[in-house]
Structure 1
């Protein structure tokens, strides 16, 4: 036991606290405590095997976060495509048209002549 304590790696204390949080299934606290920042000292260090649950949790979290990012990107892409499709389907805005006269031109001409005749008769 004395020999093991003299060869404790620099990750041991931090790793043990993370292992305790993972054992309690307190993943949020483990992340806050630096779960994703810890790395093995070297390939021949005892922490590689002792802290294996940490490396496994890191791998699972990275996989989950990557899946979440892919899902968010897909949702954004689908929303953008739907908006583009709706924009193509929407009718083009109508250009403002000149106000239409209330009477067709031929009727307006007849009315104007009638008014002129009436004005001529009323003046006599």
Structure 2
């Protein structure tokens, strides 16, 4: 009877335990620590405990990091809303303002007409 091997996408518990005991957490994550399924009867109970505990600690740490990031984003959004209430944006004008008032424009036109008549 041939020995059954775990599928390629599943992590090897003994390898993960060895990596964790050597302090190679990053290598264990790369080797599939988070995808480890605790159903290998051949795995030593002590090694199983090491892998499962490391996986749960990592899962809790990642969840805490996500909560921290969500809180920081929420606080930044609230601060921006508070600042917007304190300093409202200036009102936009309805259209471009004329360059000169009508009386000044008329005076300028008369001056140009007089100056244009002289060579």
Q: TM-score range by the shorter chain?
A: 0.5 to 0.7
Aligned residues: 92
Q: Which residue of 1 aligns with 2:43?
A: 47
Displacement of 1:48 in angstroms is 7.1
Q: Which residue of 1 aligns with 2:105?
A: none
Structure 1 CA distance for aligned equivalents of residues 82 and 75 of structure 2: 10
RMSD, matched Cα: 3.3
Runs of 4+ in 1 over 6 A off after TM superposition: none
TM-score, with length taken from structure 2: 0.63
Q: Which residue of 2 aligns with 1:79?
A: 76
Match of 1:29 among 21, 27, 30: 27
**Which stretches in structure 2 are left out of the alignment for 5+ residues?**
102-119
**Which stretches in structure 1 are left out of the alignment for 5+ residues?**
1-6, 103-124
CA contact 1:9–1:47 (8 Å) conserved in 2: no
Displacement of 1:19 in angstroms is 1.1
* Residues 55 and 48 (structure 1), Cα distance of their counterparts in 2 relative to 1, 3 Å cut: farther
TM-score, with length taken from structure 1: 0.61
Map 1:1-124 → 2, pairs under 5 A? 10=6, 14-41=12-39, 45=41, 47=43, 49-50=45-46, 51-94=48-91, 96=93
